[in-house]
Structure 1
Amino acid sequence: MGAQFLLYLIMLFLSLSNLSSHATIENQSHFFTLMKQSLSGKSLSSWDVAIAGERPYCNYTGIGCNDEGYIVEIDVSRWSLSGHFPANVCHYLPQLRILRLGHNNLHGNFPAGINNCSLLEDLNMTYSSLTGTLPDFSPMKSLKRLDLSYNLFTGDFPMSITNLTNLEWLNFNENGGFNLWQLPEEITRLTKLKTMILSTCMVHGRIPASIGNMTSLVDLELCGNFLVGRIPPELGKLKNLRQLELYYNQLVGEIPEELGNLTQLIDVDMSVNLLVGKIPESLCKLPSLRVLQLYNNSLTGEIPSIIGNSSTLKILSLYDNFLTGKVPTNLGESSDLTALDLSENHLSGDFPPNICKGGKLLYFLVLDNLFTGRLPATYGKCKSLLRFRVSSNFLEGPIPEDLLGLPHASIIDLGFNRFSGAIAKTIGNGKNLSELFIQHNMISGVLPPEISQASNLVKIDLSNNLLRGAIPPEIGNLRKLNLLLLQDNKFSSSIPKTLSSLKSLNVLDLSNNLLTGSIPESICELLPNSINFSNNRLSGPVPLSLIKGGLVESLSGNPGLCVSIYLNTSDSDFPVCPQIYSRKRLNCIWVIGASGIVVIIGAVLFLKRWLRKETEILEQDEILVWSSSHVQNFHKINFDQREIVEALVDKNIVGHGGSGTVYKIELSNGKTVAVKKLWSRKVKDSASEEQLFLDKELKTEVETLGSIRHMNIVKLYCYFSSSHSNLLVYEYMPNGNLWDALHRGRDRDFLDWPTRHRIALGVAQGLAYLHHDLSPHIIHRDIKSTNILLSADYQPKVADFGVAKVLQARGGKDSTTTVIAGTYGYIAPEYAYSSKATVKCDVYSFGVVLMELITGKKPVEPEFGESKNIIYWVSCKVETKEGAMEVLDKRLVGLFMEEMIQVLRIAIRCTCRVPALRPTMNEVVQLLIEADPYRFDSCKSSNKETSDVVKS
């Protein structure tokens, strides 16, 4: 009887096991059905849930099972999935150990139920576009790796992670939507933690000294936060630490000597803080140190000489401190140094002679110091160099012969020193050279024709030297040249006609030389923004277009120049050309005699007709004088200004702005232009404050916009005026402005996402040009959708520079205090209360424009609530269950959702309340390129080793 009962129990157990196994198979199969129902993506097509057989899902791509047939791994990262991840995953997959969903477009909040997966060891959801608040992670006792970086989480930081005592990897990088929070003492309970990345996630307060007890740490990154106080010396107990990133905080005090105990340390970055004192010698003799970045602090003292003995150092970046003394003589002799930036300090003495002995040096940047002596001849052998900048020092002697011809160098900057000798012919070997600056030195000899072989040159500044002889005509072969400054030298001979081949030339200055001969008519075809031929020995007639272009002042100091008698010369001191005057006088006598005969013969018959005709001619001449005597051209134009004046009639009005009326004028040559007629000067007394402001605003817009050459900046053709009016003539943009296209457009004018992305990218490229490519840089200060004009093919162009501000502070500082300018809804918060305009203010305003493009909403709408704007509305929406998807323009639903979420992430970064955490416009351009709606892989890639250290 007992045996039969035992047999019964065994059979019952087997039956229940089979039942349980069958249930598990059904649950796991059902989960994949849910996945295919809630997510979309091409890669899911390989999961055929209809295939017969036991546990077919174990053979699916990205799925792993154990020997019992339980699913233990799901890895669908970078599958371009879109949609909601199913809730309660571990209800269906109870044995799940690994879940990797990164680099997908998951809608909504953190998926419900994942935090109940008690056996889960690896959870990776980086770049998943998730939003909202995070749950309690305490049940996930087995978790070893947690990566939730690059998402849009908000609310309180999940302190429950301190209960996950098995954690080895923790990454919350780039989650700037959290409320401010402090690192708790309980974080030290994570004794197994090897990687802790809490960058740009709103950490404030002090770094707890107890972190020194987390001795398993290999990688500690707390950068881009609001940390204050001193760096705790207890960090010196982290004996396994290889990477320490504390940059972009507000840390004070000295760098602890105890960091020299971290013998495994490879990468140290404590830049952009408030650190003082000396660089610890103990830090510089670490045996494995590759990267040391301490730039933008207030460090003093000398660079420890021991660092010259390093055999591992690759990057040393100490710029913008108060360091003194000499650079270690043996720096670079024992290691493959890649980048050295010591700029903006008080360093002196000679340069280390063997800095590029390793053959890997890319960046040598030491500008704005007190260095003396000669450039070592060995520097001419640094074949790997990309940028070489030593300007604003006290260097002397000749330039090493091969230096200017380095094959890969794009920027060579030797300006503001005491260099002497000649420019070597080897400059022709600089095939990659883009910018050459040797201004304010004592360079002599001739400018070698071989410079024309450096065919990628865009900028040349050789001003304030002792160069003599002819300007080589071969320079006309530099077809990419944008800037040519040769003023204050001893150039003689004539101006080469070949300069007219430089179609990209924007600035040309040949003033204060010994140039002779006439001004070539062909040069006038260029008419660059800035031209200066003053104080030479030029002679002969001044080309008509230079007079009409308002460039008379740029010709002063040339006694031999003269003008035609037919020109209005009231604004210049040039005499009438004698030979022209004599010829004209004879012609005039002949004409007068002939006219007298005609008048005598037909006086009565033609008197009335003649008087009427003469009146018409006088009226036309009045228009011509009005339009030509006060004209400033910025581009070559092929229309008659009279047409502009005659077309200023009501039927051509297309709009009224804050400063005047805008006309659309179709010219006889088939070209259409836009003309802004500013308020009449007679409206107010010319000395009134309002009028002075208008004149200043006009001057700002004319000078700023006229100097710019960029496909995404609206083109200002010319400016001309009379005593009662000012006119600005622009290229006409047939599709109006972005505001109208987004908020007033008809269905047939609807902008799809690829078009909106192209507009965003174009505007970003225009602003990047203003912020990074001009010198001095320009802050627009009024970026908004009404100031973004659209061409026939919807190419965007930034317009209205009436409140632009040029950055003229020394050292390229990016701010200036001024009166408040801008438009409500677009103004950065710090600008509103500090009146300090920075490039980051433009970044903020651009972020608002991005949100307009993404949402289709205006910056301020009643639905946002009283005193609330689009930024507040978006931040609230992304906290809801529906997530970021709800803010997207409903007219674009179902199209390019992943790419739109990517751009939304960019917009949120651009509108961060903390200016330091906003990206630069160069970075924004790169991010938008990576979010191209037609790009297969839009994942972000970066090269930290060079991007962190290199200054443009």
Structure 2
Amino acid sequence: MVSSTLCSLIQPLLCWFILFVVFLAAGDDGGVAAALDTQAAYLAKMKEQFPGPAMSRWDFTSSPAPDYCTFQGVACDRTGNVTGIDVTSWRLAGKLPPGICAALPSLRELRLAYNDVRGGFPATLLNCTALEVLNVSYSGVSGAVPDLSSMRSLRVLDMSNNQFTGAFPTSIANVTTLEVVNFNENPGFDIWRPPETFMALRRLRVLILSTTSMRGDIPPWLGNMTSLTDLELSGNFLVGRIPLSLARLSKLQYLELYYNELEGVVPDELGNLTELTDIDLSENKLTGGIPESLCSLRNLRVLQMYTNRLTGGIPAVLGNSTQLRILSVYRNLLTGEIPGDIGRYSPELNVIEVSENQLTGPLPPYACTGGKLQYILVLSNLLTGPIPPAYAACTPLLRFRVSNNHLEGDVPPGIFALPHASIVDLSYNHFTGPVPATVAAAANLTSLFASNNKISGELPPEIAAVSGLVKIDLSNNLIAGPIPDVLGRLSRLNQLSLQGNRLTGPIPATLAGIWSLNVLNLSDNALSGEIPESLCDLLPNSLDFSNNNLSGPVPAPLIKEGLLESVAGNPGLCVAFRLNLTSPALPLCPRPRLRRGLAGDVWVVGVCALVCVAAALAVARRCVVRARMDAEGQDGAPTSPASSSSYDVTSFHKLTFDQHEIVEALIDKNIVGHGGSGTVYKIELSSGELVAVKKLWARRRPANKLKEHDDSGGGGWLGDRELRTEVETLGSIRHKNIVKLYCCYSGADSNLLVYEYMPNGNLWEALHGGGHGCFLLLDWPTRHRVAMGVAQGLAYLHHDLMFPIVHRDIKSSNILLDADFEPKVADFGIAKVLQQVAGGDHRDASTTTIAGTYGYLAPEYAYSSKATTKCDVYSFGVVLMELATGRKPIEPEFGETRDIVHWVSGKVAAGGEADALDKRLATWGPNRYKEEMVQALRVAVRCTCSIPGLRPTMADVVQMLAEAGPRATTPKDKQDNHHQQQQQQPTNKLPPSP
């Protein structure tokens, strides 16, 4: 009896031991305790292969044996067999161990989303014929997708937001059990077209193939897949018309075809989709009208058709909707009125975005009835009438933009005091009334635009209480009285435009304390008194005091920078010394009267003596330097006056040096760097000032053709008109966050660009070590200031010039730091001035010469050489990630074929932003700036979206960073003025909004 009982126990133990040995042979290294069964052994192996703090939830140390069915993320049936593993957002990194199907034969669900799954698609899963749910979204999986036909039980397959390449897995057509297929955001697939075999997926409810490199037209046979409730084909290369057959999808709730090249009309037949809740046809080439049948759908929540060529009106029936949340039809050719009842019966209405159309009539009076409206964006239309008084009580508003219309009447005071609004834009209308003192209640306001109206009264001092203000533009109004001194408290102010008003009194010297001020325009007023010399500390930014009643001497720095035009039209101004004849005529300031004539003679003699001594010293120094160079025989230094005088000079600022002083210092000991475009020298001038000189080797032509083909207009440019035009354009730039180009010397064999010198090196060195960088100084407020400065500089290049400039090589090593760690964008060696195409749109300005640096390049470079401003936005997003994480763009920790963008995007999408932040900043307290840094990461993710059109503009980035800065009090979930609406879609097409 004892013997038979013992045998009955030994036999299953022996069987288990054999299975366990087999499993170890398949990949175990002996780290799993021998007492575990096969399922526990596999889970232990998985814990080992996916190390991370979250795996401590699986405790294998308990005795006599761990109950893995109680582990978090593990599901079992009644018999103890593992049926599901869900480690979503555990922030794990590793490879899935082999043998999962044999070790866990009852496994039905495997969820690995928001982790770091390495080694490509786990081939071991192909043997899991019982697996029903597989989710590896946001997991950085790369490489080709194998034939999935063997996974014959799959119902849900989510492979979205990864880095797959090669052919699209059309083999999914053989898995007829599929109900959900999601490959969203995998732009690396080869160009492909969906095969008709997909019709075999008769159970399919969700088909998401956005941004998968699909091309051709929308297959009409999709209309036969009548089980579909969600069809998303956005961000591809689809052309042609929207097929009428889609109207047969009677269960369809979501239809998203945005960001394609679709043409023709929006079919009226889509109104047959009675279950439809969300439709997005934006960013195509659609024509015709918005079908009334669509607007009549009882369940319609989201109607997005922005950036098309739609005509006609917005159907009035939309005002009867009870479910509408988002109406976004901006940038079309729509006419007529905004439905008057819109919002009246829709308690969840959140967005009205109808900008850039030809709409007429009044603003809809009931838009705020539901109390949920956050965005009123109606700019650039033909709207008339007043602002409805009810809008002043619409406290949830984040953006209120009604500029470029024909609106009139007094602005309700509550509009200036909206507590959550970050932008209030009233410009280019016919508004009247004052800026009220209640503006102090606008705690989150960063931009106040009200230019070109008839606003009157005085500028209230209470506006200084809105500490987050970045831009104030109240130009061309009827504002009178003084400029409040307290404006100097607005430490984050970037733009103050008050020109074209009736301001009186002096210019407040307190404005000089606003170090972030890039634009100060006080022209065309009635200001009096002297120009405070301290304001010149803001140079080289844009300063304009012209056409006032100012008097006294013009500050010397304005003269040195050649900015006399900025003080023109002030009869009382004078200069302390005679200027050249090309300068605006200004009288000499009266010389102080001396009491004795002898003293005057002594003064004149003394000045002359000092000038002579200075000249003699300069000549002597030049002779000594030349003699020393001849004695040392330095390579690369000119050895004769002929060589140093063979340069033509093009100056962009008043110079305190001449070409001899520059050329003679081009010796080896002054070299500080080499680049693809030339050699960089650090030169100390006789004045003690430091400059950086980049020596560019010119492109030679045959000697006998130089004169014949030189069309440059200057002998030193070797006929390189493109280089000359580019340098002259860059020399005209005046922005505090762009390195100042003093001048260019063009010669027979090289061109010399003379820049201001940056003593603190570049941002790469400061963040990652080496060179002049000093990490200890870069706390988060400093890093945020760097980010803001770079963003403002790029916004200037993209938006504030007659022709936008694409830098095309934004990276941390091209961001220089001055003595105060103020950033300066540098190295325009590959930047190109974009020429405006007649009738073209600057938003689409681009160049086609491939350039840039790996790790910073936008993904569209993989299939196109077209460089746009959105490429700079992407590169800036990478720099912003560097600032927040302290990581380099490429690091081994990110995994094969992965970079900081994928690593950060995964963290943000999984809600693990805090794990990505630079741990070294804990020196200033672990949570002191945590929220601001998280906000910055979210902005960075927006900037690095794989679809260029979904990236914000640099102007938007400046706005978002201002809201996310230290001491910001704005809510966490601010949204962008155009593309924020995608956040409410069902598939997370965009990362969380900042």
Partner residue of 1:364 out of 362, 366, 376: 376
Q: 1:719 aligned to 2:742?
A: yes
2:592 counterpart residue number: 580
Distance change (3 Å), C-alpha of 1:821 and 1:278: same
Distance change (3 Å), C-alpha of 1:416 and 1:109: same
1:153 counterpart residue number: 164
Query: Which amino acid is the alignment partner of residue 663 of structure 1?
Result: Y
Distance change (3 Å), C-alpha of 1:16 and 1:136: farther
The alignment-based identity, stated in percent, is 45
Q: 1:702 aligned to 2:731?
A: yes
Query: Which amino acid is the alignment partner of residue 616 of structure 1?
Result: A
Shift of 1:399: 2.0
Aligned residue for 1:178, secondary structure, equals: coil
Q: 1:122 aligned to 2:137?
A: no
Shift of 1:110: 1.7
Query: Which amino acid is the alignment partner of residue 483 of structure 1?
Result: Q
Shift of 1:327: 0.8
Query: Which amino acid is the alignment partner of residue 143 of structure 2?
Result: G
2:702 counterpart residue number: none
**Counterpart Cα distance in 2 of 1:102 and 1:175:** 15
Partner residue of 2:105 out of 74, 85, 94: 94
Shift of 1:284: 0.8
Partner residue of 1:652 out of 657, 670, 673: 670
Distance change (3 Å), C-alpha of 1:702 and 1:245: same
Q: 1:242 aligned to 2:250?
A: no
Q: 1:516 aligned to 2:528?
A: yes
Query: Which amino acid is the alignment partner of residue 731 of structure 1?
Result: M
Query: Which amino acid is the alignment partner of residue 729 of structure 2?
Result: T
Shift of 1:73: 1.8
Q: 1:43 aligned to 2:59?
A: no
2:441 counterpart residue number: 429
- Deviation sequence 1:175-203 (CA, Å, 0-9, x none): 22222222233323323222222221222
Shift of 1:948: 5.7
1:571 counterpart residue number: 583
Q: 1:478 aligned to 2:490?
A: yes
1:840 counterpart residue number: 870
Distance change (3 Å), C-alpha of 1:700 and 1:656: farther
1:506-905 superposed matches below 5 A: 506-527=518-539, 529-565=541-577, 571-578=583-590, 580=592, 587-591=599-603, 616=616, 619=619, 632=653, 648=665, 650=667, 651-655=669-673, 662-665=680-683, 674-676=692-694, 687-688=714-715, 690=719, 693-704=722-733, 706-709=734-737, 715-716=739-740, 719=742, 727-734=754-761, 768-770=791-793, 775-776=799-800, 779-783=805-809, 788=814, 798-801=825-828, 803-805=831-833, 813-816=842-845, 820=849, 822=851, 837-842=867-872, 885-886=895-896
**Counterpart Cα distance in 2 of 1:249 and 1:914:** 11
Aligned residue for 1:279, secondary structure, equals: coil
Contact kept, 8 Å, 1:168 with 1:193, in 2: the verdict is yes
Shift of 1:708: 4.1
1:107-506 superposed matches below 5 A: 107-336=118-347, 337-506=349-518
**Counterpart Cα distance in 1 of 2:527 and 2:518:** 21
- Deviation sequence 1:278-307 (CA, Å, 0-9, x none): 111111121122111110111111000000
Aligned residue for 1:175, secondary structure, equals: coil
**Counterpart Cα distance in 1 of 2:234 and 2:293:** 23
Contact kept, 8 Å, 1:789 with 1:799, in 2: the verdict is yes
Contact kept, 8 Å, 1:539 with 1:561, in 2: the verdict is yes
**Counterpart Cα distance in 1 of 2:386 and 2:508:** 34
Cα RMSD after superposing both structures: 5.4
Distance change (3 Å), C-alpha of 1:181 and 1:884: farther
Contact kept, 8 Å, 2:760 with 2:773, in 1: the verdict is no
Contact kept, 8 Å, 1:224 with 1:917, in 2: the verdict is no
For CA contacts below 8 A with separation 6 or more, give which structure has more relative contact order: 1
**Counterpart Cα distance in 2 of 1:697 and 1:96:** 63
More displaced, 53-62 or 454-463? 53-62
2:936 counterpart residue number: none
Distance change (3 Å), C-alpha of 1:521 and 1:54: closer
Contact kept, 8 Å, 1:820 with 1:832, in 2: the verdict is no
Shift of 1:345: 0.8
**Counterpart Cα distance in 2 of 1:412 and 1:522:** 31
**Counterpart Cα distance in 2 of 1:106 and 1:468:** 64
Distance change (3 Å), C-alpha of 1:586 and 1:525: farther
Query: Which amino acid is the alignment partner of residue 503 of structure 1?
Result: W
**Counterpart Cα distance in 2 of 1:325 and 1:203:** 37
1:600 counterpart residue number: none
Query: Which amino acid is the alignment partner of residue 788 of structure 1?
Result: N
Query: Which amino acid is the alignment partner of residue 552 of structure 1?
Result: L
**Counterpart Cα distance in 2 of 1:22 and 1:657:** 64
**Counterpart Cα distance in 1 of 2:850 and 2:238:** 32
2:966 counterpart residue number: none
Query: Which amino acid is the alignment partner of residue 305 of structure 1?
Result: A
Contact kept, 8 Å, 1:647 with 1:665, in 2: the verdict is no
1:898-917 superposed matches below 5 A: none
Shift of 1:358: 1.6
1:3 counterpart residue number: none
Distance change (3 Å), C-alpha of 1:588 and 1:758: closer
Structure 2, unaligned runs of 5 or more: 1-5, 20-35, 624-644, 699-705, 911-915, 917-938, 962-972, 985-989
Contact kept, 8 Å, 1:720 with 1:726, in 2: the verdict is yes
Query: Which amino acid is the alignment partner of residue 776 of structure 1?
Result: D
Q: Larger C-alpha radius of gyration, 1 or 2?
A: 1
Distance change (3 Å), C-alpha of 1:226 and 1:572: closer
Query: Which amino acid is the alignment partner of residue 175 of structure 1?
Result: N
Distance change (3 Å), C-alpha of 1:811 and 1:439: farther
Partner residue of 1:72 out of 68, 80, 83: 83
**Counterpart Cα distance in 1 of 2:68 and 2:395:** 56
Distance change (3 Å), C-alpha of 1:235 and 1:901: closer
Aligned residue for 2:311, secondary structure, equals: strand
**Counterpart Cα distance in 2 of 1:779 and 1:273:** 26
Contact kept, 8 Å, 1:548 with 1:631, in 2: the verdict is no
**Counterpart Cα distance in 2 of 1:432 and 1:164:** 52
- Deviation sequence 1:89-129 (CA, Å, 0-9, x none): 11122221122222222211222231222222222222222
Shift of 1:318: 0.2
**Counterpart Cα distance in 2 of 1:77 and 1:941:** 26
Distance change (3 Å), C-alpha of 1:20 and 1:897: farther
**Counterpart Cα distance in 2 of 1:178 and 1:308:** 43
Aligned residue for 1:103, secondary structure, equals: coil
**Counterpart Cα distance in 1 of 2:941 and 2:405:** 42
- Deviation sequence 1:394-423 (CA, Å, 0-9, x none): 222322232222222211112122223433
**Counterpart Cα distance in 1 of 2:782 and 2:537:** 32
Shift of 1:48: 5.0
Contact kept, 8 Å, 1:759 with 1:796, in 2: the verdict is no
Shift of 1:316: 0.5
Aligned residue for 1:223, secondary structure, equals: coil
1:862 counterpart residue number: none
Shift of 1:343: 0.8
Shift of 1:342: 0.4
Shift of 1:75: 2.1
**Counterpart Cα distance in 1 of 2:942 and 2:552:** 59
